[in-house]
Structure 1
Amino acid sequence: MTIEYAPTVLATADGQPHAGTPVLLNRPIRPGTDSAVLSVFGDDRWELTPALFEEHVAATSLNFAPIPAALRPTAKNYVWQLLNCPDPPALRRFSSTRLAVRTVVSGFPSLASFLVWLDVRGITTLPSVGPADLDRYLSDLLDSGLSRDALGDRITAVRRLWAWRERLPAGDRLPATPPWRGEDSDALLGRKRRRGENRTPRIPPSTVDRLLLWSLRFVEDFADDIIAVRDEYATLSARSFTARHRHGGHHDPRTPEQFHADLRTLLRNMTHDGRELPGKPGPDGAPVLDRQHLARLLNCPTHWLGRRANAAALDTSGLPIADAAYLSAPVTARLDGSLWRQHLIAFGEAEQLVRHLSTACFVVIAYLSGARPGEALALRRGCVRHDATAGLWLMHGRKWKGATDEYGGKKPEGEERTDPWVVVRQVADAVSVLERLHERDLLFPTTLFDTRIADALARGRLGKARTTQVLATHIDRFISWVDTYCANTGRDERIPPDPSGRKIYPVRFRRTLAWHIVRRPRGLVAGAIQYDHVRLGVTLGYSGTYASGFPDEHAFETWLLTLEQLTDAEHRLREGEHVSGPAAPTYTQRVHQVSRQFAGRVLTSTRQARDLLDNPALQIHKGKGMTCVFDPAKAKCRLGSGENIRRTPDLTDCQPGCQNIARTDRDIAVLRDQVAELEGLVDDPLSPGPRRERERHELARLTQIVDDHDRTRPEAP
């Protein structure tokens, strides 16, 4: 990607900007940006969108008009330095790299609040701000009722403004004394924030299972029917715009006689094909002719249909009026053996279904690949390829996290991933559907239709990706459609809402996938998909490194699950659960050790979670009817190995007689069920002799294990 910069305009002699200096003087801008639209220092609104390369980011600007006039030049000078200075001054807990444009934007409201506070109190220059003023500002903040995060942002804005004082003219500097004696927000607010904690809420399993189920149905079952009506809808909707909004009337070269002949031809064809006239609900609920849609079919203004000859042709056609304006493509997809809808797709629902199909594709791609929302929204046509040699589907794209420029700051244009995502076939299918759904380069463009109305609604972002906020709204609408469809068809498969009331934001898919992999590898709808994908695709093939960030999420969830399981195990031991088997003493020792060693432990990074998972005290793994108290020196099973992957037992290859085996009362309950099942099979006279002999041998082995467990149970006091 070729990087462009704003045209160079000399600053003043002291290096400060003047009215004509470009706002983005030292920032790369999107290729093809018209230099005439770039903001300059003298403007009160600075357009920053040219410096944003992520396709899903909305138009962004800074408005200095609300800042008091006396302090506005100071604010502009300071923000200009934030945007253009490549080497920020050092300050504890502040990044030493240049701030990203969106970070500058997100911190702007806190800066503005401080400057407004000063102006209200008659302070119109920064050099006149004393320690007492800052103490009063802090006191007002603490009394404001703002959240802790909001308070931290306000404090940080003042500390950063002070840190930059040497880069500003003398009249724009805070005094040399550090604000609040140099203390940061953690010290001032009295409670330390857990840094690095992932606070993104997971999507509840019941919700995400059904959401994925219906998304897969759209991609795998309904897609052909929806794509079939897409072009017809696009053509007709463009006609309706022309008929209603073209200045000077509808310029149609047809004479009234020619148009009348076209109308009669349409009516004859509809009669021959057994079709009905387009309709809509009338005042009493009965269908009436939808003259607007009929005008679309004939590409004419609606009033042409009211001419006497044309109205007579309609009245005498004998065609019934449908209850909606249906498109012509047939319905072919089936759901549980029956057509998924009893009627053709109507004009009024076609755009909605096209958007739902695109949304369903995003759910499948984002959830089952583990890609970040921005990475998924930046995917382009041809991004998925199949490696026939390895038997893997590979998804190529750009990344922004971890992409840094020569100064160590975020590289705004991002970079192509060195290693692609390893994905499952369902993700490849979703990409293929999107490539058939439209002809744009981006898979998730702002709009799916080339109309002037769509262009206006996109607010100049036509051809770029949808934003995450818009996508969250589309997911809500998709869920509402599914719930309505289930209600109308009597299906008990609606998508349950999140009990917390939270919206399904795209960022939640990645965290939920990590949880679902660790907690429910054999879950409901996506059980096999998620299990195979993550264990084989992500853990081993997702770049093979931790650069993607996803293995960190996976390690964090594994750590949480491990602690929960071991805490439950200790509670059961204290309640008298019996443990038998060769590793029983080690099991008991490790479970009690976990409580002493890790109680109250706070993780500040997912890297710590990965490191802690290697701790021998945590090497307890639940199997079927047994618990592995893992010691690689004693293991008889095959062990995982390789770079960046810790050695773990293969619970599918558990060998009898292994000294790592312990059995809890819960494990014995599983074995008792197996014993009961085997007893029935051994007594079956129709079972083949060799099979019956194998089952009798297994029954004897399991019965001995159960008896030994009961025999070694300590007597109650």
Structure 2
Amino acid sequence: MSGSAARRAEARHLDDDQRTAPAHPSQGPKAGARARTSAHDLRDTHGEWIRLARWLHERRITRLSGCTDDVWRAYIAERCSDVCRGHAEKICSMLTDLWAFDQLSAQPAGATRPPWDIEGVDAFPPSVGGSDGGENSTEPLDPQVLGPLLVWAIRFVDDFADDILAAWSERCRLFAAASANQATAKSQVALEEFLLPRVRSGTPLPSIRQKGRSTLARTYIAALTGVSTSRVNRFATKHQLYGLLAERPGASPLHVPIRGQIEGKPWREHIDFEGRRADAASRHSRSDPLPVFDRYAPAGSAGAAIRLLS
């Protein structure tokens, strides 16, 4: 049998083994992993095996048993020279499957074990191009930088958590009130008295950001005046308030006291219904780590109150 024919026979056996055999003992299932790989993954794995076979053929290596440790290292360095780290790790896993399923075959081809399955994939390939922006893709922060940041985070929670949680409770109360409101003649008058003076005087209107644009803070206004959100919407349409918002977007302050201080002064003028920064000083600190709190705060929990500041 020629080298090419032998390699094709080996590939057919491994293909059959991969579709029918359970996972190799050395590849124990991870928590939450599926018991069977998907058809999409099978296709990608076979594609990687074919790519390896062609590379071996160009170098006149006709058997999988001839794929020595040095050959594996040379191939993976070339194969992963222009891919991101995450993709490189997936390629290594697919090539490890070639050896793993050969161990289960009734007619093993003698595929050798890739060195990264023994030494750990972190060392392979030696040089990886690109970046997938994933975890640990950048250098760690110096302790002299990280230390003050951690102190800042702890002080932030200690000094301002009461204000944030109080604002979150008030925001939830306003949402509940707006949902339960029923329009009455009295609430209609309250709505007119709340909005019309602002329209006539040119005062900014209570607003939120939605899909990149300012729009009327309907829930906020409904909760304060006692009308339904649909009544606020009809009122705004009648008086063409949505057109005014492009020129006069305003804050929607929550009526909770600000007790936290920085150098003896309140740390902000108020906390907004939407969570926008209210004071001029804080508008100069767009790069502060506040979004970190929003990203990791679980929805519906006390920690989600930090979303008000994101």
Given the two structures, how large is their TM-score scaled by the length of structure 2?
0.50
Higher normalized helix content (fraction of residues):
2
> Whose Rg is larger?
1
Given the two structures, how large is their TM-score scaled by the length of structure 1?
0.25
